[in-house]
Amino acid sequence: MGTEILVNSTGKETRVALMENQQLSELHIDRGVDRGYVGNVYLGKVVRVLPGMQAAFVDIGMERAAFLYVGDIYPQFLDGKSHDHDGEDEDDDGDRGLDEDATVAEEGPPRGAPRPGQPAIQDLLTEGQEIVVQVAKDPIGTKGARVTTHITLPGRYLVFMPTVDHVGISRRIERDRERRRLREFVDKNRPKGAGFIVRTVCASQTNVTLKQDMNYLVATWEKIQAAATSKKAPAPLHLDHGLVLRIVRDAFHDDVDRMVVDNPKLFEEVNEFMQEFSPELKEKVHLYRGNEPMFDNFGVESEITRASSRRVWLKSGGYLVIDQTEALTAIDVNSGKFVGNASLEDTTLRVNLEAAKEICYQLRLRNIGGIIIMDLIDMDKEQNRDKVYRTLEEELKKDRARTNVLKISELGLVQMTRKRVQEDLVRYLSEPCPVCEGRGNVRSRQTVCYEVFRELQRESTRSLAAQTLYVNVHPTVADMLYGEEFTVFEAVEARLQRRIVVRALLHMHPEKYEVYSK
């Protein structure tokens, strides 16, 4: 079995699993209230211009204002004109994948760096100004959405760029004759000053099919422009399809063996969409009729559980430890129970090669983005380090998100970046622990006991007339006060010459305590 798309719907939650050779490779979740915003177009209002950061905050109607870098502002577009975009080359690929909802918005230059020859942010925008923007990156954590004025509208076969005078062809279309045909047709039929990216699935499509897709996208842009003149900011101008239809549009191609949907209503929606855009693939869409939950039947649930774990075991007996912080993700490779049967170098190489494949798989499955540091097991031979690096490069080619990986350092570290466009899977499926508040640890019971003893001394000094001091603690701390630390407890009571009453309160946080005299 090659590639499959599984769609599971439970109440307001919809989950889409992309399976490759019966293994979960990507998981996308939509819970209605917190669906992704990437690809949506809004009429926003500039609420703050930051010359020091060369950026602006734009109110687009979300809880937090969106962030707009100066490098993502196209001055000609603000004047209602298109321009030639210098960020795309002739071989740019329109298939940016589900992580980016098939948009072609670039990351842009570093913060505070305008494009060469571009005016400063304060010369482009003023507070209160209305501006049409598109979400390029969903809100993540405490950060608001990132937006751009470079609008991209993805269709089934093409991506329309009304602000860019350029035609790009997917580099996955390799036949020169086909590339020339597509370029000539799109260049001849595109609106003046606008551009298109020809997607991989466009190969071998008829001119009639391409023209229909072009007309649909141009008409969509015209509706957006009309809405922008009639609405008051902040207001949505164009909302992209829901999760399931976006995946049908962007990932359901000829190389997909089948799509299985377990919800009859969603099954009908997908069929209607396929009838309009790809009727030839409609027979590959199936309704799941099994009694067992579909994700259980296909082994998806167990993989989701594995993807939520800090420790990931390798088949050899080695394991990975994945720790995510606000700034970066650290991945430690350990040999674990694997001892090998040859030399130490050969054993290390085997574990590192297996780890390299599993790390790339976990990055994609967990949707981990940003800076990633891998601590491999040290290898003495340079050719072995090169083997592991080449394996990383090959495995990362399967990733839809943009990645950049550096060679293994002398310390055995690999530094890489992966484009982050939405919340990673672990953060999406979980929330900070109410006990440790996301730190991963709490002060030990013994530590809290000694903090209580010191606080009793302070309270006795503050309340000289009090004969009794009261302590409120979590039951586990109370057990230690009257157990292992009871000798110290009695000594404190004798030294302070006060009666101490300990109250065990189940609702108390394990780290918290209260010491008082009344």
Q: Which 8-state DSSP code applies to residue 190?
A: S
Domain final residue pick, 386, 405, 429: 429
Q: Which pLDDT does position 174 carry in this prediction?
A: 82
Q: What are the start-end ranges of the E strands in 95-206?
A: 130-137, 146-148, 153-154, 158-161, 167-169, 195-198
434 part of a folded domain: no
13 part of a folded domain: yes
Cα–Cα distances in Å, from 63 out to 139, 140, 145, 232, 476? 10, 12, 10, 18, 40
Other beta carbons within 10 angstroms of residue 218's beta carbon come to 18
Residues 9 and 25 in one domain: yes
Contact 95, 102 (CB under 8 A): yes
Under the banding of pLDDT at 50, 70 and 90, the label for residue 453 is very high
Residues 81 and 130 in one domain: yes
- CATH number of the domain enclosing 480: 3.40.1260.20
Q: Omega of the bond prior to 234 within 30 degrees of 0, cis?
A: yes
Residues 222 and 261 in one domain: no
Under the banding of pLDDT at 50, 70 and 90, the label for residue 86 is very low
440 part of a folded domain: no
Cα–Cα distances in Å, from 235 out to 42, 61, 79, 145, 432? 6, 7, 20, 15, 33
Residues 28 and 128 in one domain: no
User: Which residues, other chains included, contact 310 with Cβ-Cβ below 8 Å and sequence gap of 6+?
Assistant: 321, 322, 323
Mean pLDDT of 427-436: 82
Residue for token pair 């734009």: 58
The parent domain of residue 338 ranges over: 308-429
What is the chain's Cα-based Rg? 29
What DSSP element (H or E) covers 225?
Answer: helix 207-230
Residues 261 and 161 in one domain: no
56 part of a folded domain: yes
The lowest-confidence range among 43-52, 186-195, 205-214, 340-349 is 340-349
* Sequence-ordered alpha helix ranges (H) in 23-169: 75-78, 121-124
The pTM assigned to this predicted structure is 0.72
Closest by CA to 157, choosing from 146, 170, 145, is 170
Residue for token pair 């995510």: 324
User: Which residues, other chains included, contact 84 with Cβ-Cβ below 8 Å and sequence gap of 6+?
Assistant: 164, 165, 166
Residues 53 and 137 in one domain: yes
Residues 234 and 92 in one domain: yes
Under the banding of pLDDT at 50, 70 and 90, the label for residue 78 is low
Q: Inform me whether the pLDDT recorded for 425 exceeds 50.
A: yes
Q: Which pLDDT does position 76 carry in this prediction?
A: 58
511 part of a folded domain: yes
Q: pLDDT (tens digit, 9 = 90+) per residue, 258-303?
A: 999 999 999 999 999 888 777 888 899 999 998 899 999 999 998 8
